[in-house]
Amino acid sequence: MSDTELRGAFLELIHFAEVALRDRFDRALAPAYGSHWFKGRTVLLDDRTLDKFREAEGRVTHTSKHPARVIAEVSLGGWGYLLEVGGVGTGGGGALAGRADYERDLWDGRIEALFSGTITTRQEAAALVRRVRRLRNRVAHHESVVFGVHQPGERDAVGNHKRQLPASALADVRQLLELFCPTAAAWLATCNHVDELLADQLLVDALNEMKTFLPKTQWF
């Protein structure tokens, strides 16, 4: 078993989770704010969110800038921003200006339906997507996942750094898939390559060894 093989197995699941997530988010917001909601003209979006969607629109090479094409180009980070508190939007390009309030404007009354009742607050949803994004970034940047996923800026009550175990990261990806694409449940039941790799004794031994080198760490 190699770290490269594990990253590849994770990437397949993450890809499908990303597609399912972006489609569900768009379907949740478009009825209220129109198919071009991401332009910030019908609902106030902060600058960093708008930047992500504008960058995505810039990557669409087709002559038609159809909303679906733009949505498909937005990274997981862009979708994650929508679950944060919301910041300042300076306007421009017809976008509304002011301080965005995503709790009130985007997710009030929508979170439970979006996450099928499993997650009931924006904060919980943001934390889940944030963890999956960190895993995706490690995989995309060819960084090790055998030794877990560091959670930058997050500490426990006694100041220990937080680090997510590979098996816990897998559970998060599966949760997103099951929530946003229930029809994938049967496929997920047969997709056990990551589980097999995580059970490899070499990986288990390597992870246990790493834990001895990171004593001031909360593994979860």
Q: Give the pLDDT score at 1.
A: 66
d(CA 122, CA 82): 10
d(CA 80, CA 74): 10
CA separation (Å) from 112 to 29, 79, 117, 118?
14, 17, 5, 7
In this structure, which long-range contacts are made by residues 21-25, counting pairs with CB atoms below 8 Å and at least 24 apart in sequence?
21/76, 21/79, 21/129, 21/176, 21/180, 22/71, 22/72, 22/74, 22/79, 23/71, 23/180, 24/114, 24/180, 25/79, 25/82, 25/114
Q: Give the pLDDT score at 133.
A: 97
Rounded to 5°, the CA angle 101-106-110 comes to 135
Over the stretch 101-128, which tens digit does the pLDDT of each residue have? 999 999 998 988 888 778 889 999 999 9
Over the stretch 33-88, which tens digit does the pLDDT of each residue have? 999 999 999 999 999 999 999 999 999 988 888 999 999 999 999 999 999 999 99
The CA-to-CA distance between both ends of the chain, in Å, stands at 23
Q: What residues have CB less than 8 Å from 205, skipping those under 6 apart?
A: none
Crossing angle of helices 166-180/122-140, nearest 10°?
120
Torsion 130-132-135-141 (CA) sign: negative
d(CA 19, CA 76): 9
Could you tell me the two tokens for 13? Answer: 């699941």
Q: Give the pairing of strands 88-92 and 95-99.
A: antiparallel
d(CA 57, CA 197): 38
Could you tell me the two tokens for 138? Answer: 């490690």
Over the stretch 180-215, which tens digit does the pLDDT of each residue have? 887 877 787 788 999 999 999 999 999 999 999 998
